Structure 1
Amino acid sequence: MKKIDLGLKAGTDPKQITDRLQYAPEVFEFYTAETDFTKDGLKRLAEAIEQVKDAGISQIILHHPMRYHGDFTELLTLEQKMPELYRFIEQSTLDLLQLAYDKELQVLVHGSYSRQTALFLAQFDSLEKATAYSFKRLDHFHELGKEHIMFENSISPIFYYGESALDEQILAHDYRLAFDTSHCFIKWQGSEPKLLEALTRLRSKIVHYHLVDSLGEVHDSLELGKGKIDWNAVLPLLNEQATNIFEIVLQDQTDAKEQVASYEYLKQIEQNSKL
């Protein structure tokens, strides 16, 4: 059974970093934003990474920014339609990968987002063509990042987990995968069997988990134990070699108590399973 990591998430705000480091996490995920990709922003990010490494944390993930000028950084973006957004996605990923190669880190990129997907899908003649283009972009970044990049599942019609044919297609591309439990659960409207099937089918290629609870209806990012996911069933299916964080919505971004409570909840289940 996988040993559960105390994995915490923060931005580059010094108050957030100080808060997370007090718990001595084993895994630290930086949630980057558009402002981190100016010259000064990249310098601050590099300094924040060194601060976390100096605290003895070697397992660090850099989460690609979600938005640029209000638009989601959707890999479906066509250069000829939205050139500025396309260039930002490209350059910001390259910037993160440079840090990853230099400092032995990992970069996480979303295969898709759900909130603006319809806008991007409208630029393609069919879902099949959009999916093919999505894989083309994923292949591009996979080749650039190699062992330093992973791709996270969405709840959109693009790059989601739990449908056997798409899962097998993803496996055929040999991507390193990040698995968000809530995204898969929500995609299948709270279907526990679908979540467990996806965890099992993709397990060998999963290198990182976002352990998040949900009611299975909308994107709610709940503390573990406050949603409908059966963590007793999930825990034995996790890849023992993968890292994890608890990507929970916080009441206060400078206080990770909901993330820590989720860790403690899952550790209790882990302990009970050994009795």
Structure 2
Amino acid sequence: MRLGLKAGINDQQIADRMQYQPTYFEFHLTAEDVTPTGLVRLREKIRYVRSQQVERIILHHPMSFEGHHIELSMNEASSPARYRFLWQSTLDLLQLAKAEDVQLLVHGSYDDPIEELTTGYGNITDAIRVLFKRLDYLQRIGGQNIMFENSISPIFYYGNPIFDQAIFDKGYRLAFDTSHCFIKLQGDQNAFLQSLATLREHVVHYHLVDSMGLKHDGLQLGTGKIDWARVLPLLNPDASSIYEVQLADQNDAREMIASHRYLTQLEQTLSE
């Protein structure tokens, strides 16, 4: 296991992460980071992080705009300003990702209520159809610089064998959040492991997070119910990863480092 860490566009957070010499680094972006000024600053931070011998850099698309999740499937008529932000920010970040040879991570969906996901559509099937058309488009223009992450949303998640196979057959470059899948499956370990195995070939990035499998809890690895000894052999060895665990202090990565220590010790034990 190689170390992957995450931080916002914050000098103190970045300095804290760089002291551990991570192999992978993910920027957690906000709407402020994709303004013209924000993008200039982001480019500077990307170049700084790369100068610290970080091998792979990932840009996590902003999660929200004006207090609402950025749903890739959103209907333009229902949220015109948010819709404009979705596409402007995505295209701007994709252009930056290509120019700087980094990765853009986009959520296929979040966990908004079904009534919000279907606003402006006849039903959830229509929303899913629109979502996959947009994923197809982004994959086509993004190529090797874009990936799509799962959540616990009913329109883009991992853990259903039929849905997993459909996603796999699309050939998308995938980001796999372990806690999201485990929570969606309400802690069903075997179904979770099967999803990891099914999608493994197309996963290019992991969010390694523990969970009790009931709700978003973002636990440090080894403190939840995920069986990491069974997970490790199912991870794609060519993929990057970061520990997306809850921190007591955003300026101190100690819970991420403890998670990495846990996983590397487990890896050593399994190899003996």
TM-score by length of 1: 0.97
Q: State the distance in 2 between where 1:94 and 1:249 align.
A: 29
Aligned-pair distance for 1:93?
Answer: 0.9
Q: State the distance in 1 between where 2:68 and 2:30 align.
A: 12
Q: With CA pairs under 8 Å and 6+ residues apart, which has the higher RCO, 1 or 2? A: 1
Over residues 96-137 of structure 1, what are the superposed CA-to-partner deviations in whole Å (9 max), with x where a residue is unaligned? 111111111001000000035531224322221111111011
Over residues 59-79 of structure 1, what are the superposed CA-to-partner deviations in whole Å (9 max), with x where a residue is unaligned? 000000000011100012111
Q: Which moved more, 1:209-218 or 1:162-171?
A: 162-171
- Whether 2:9 is the aligned partner of 1:12: answer yes
> Structure 2 matches for 1:1-275, cutoff 5 A?
4-275=1-272
Q: State the distance in 1 between where 2:139 and 2:14 align.
A: 29
Aligned-pair distance for 1:171?
Answer: 1.4
Q: Which moved more, 1:133-142 or 1:121-130?
A: 121-130
What are structure 1's unaligned runs of at least 5 residues?
Answer: none
Q: State the distance in 2 between where 1:148 and 1:182 align.
A: 24
Aligned-pair distance for 1:168?
Answer: 1.4
Q: State the distance in 1 between where 2:138 and 2:168 align.
A: 16
> Does the 8 Å contact 1:72/1:116 carry over to 2?
no
Q: Which moved more, 1:85-94 or 1:114-123?
A: 114-123
Q: State the distance in 2 between where 1:192 and 1:121 align.
A: 30
Counterpart secondary structure, 1:197: helix
Quick one: percent identity of the two aligned structures? Answer: 51
Q: State the distance in 1 between where 2:80 and 2:170 align.
A: 27
What are structure 2's unaligned runs of at least 5 residues?
Answer: none
Q: State the distance in 2 between where 1:71 and 1:213 align.
A: 26
Q: State the distance in 2 between where 1:175 and 1:239 align.
A: 15
- AA aligned to 1:124 is Y
Aligned-pair distance for 1:83?
Answer: 1.4
RMSD: 1.0
Counterpart secondary structure, 1:8: strand
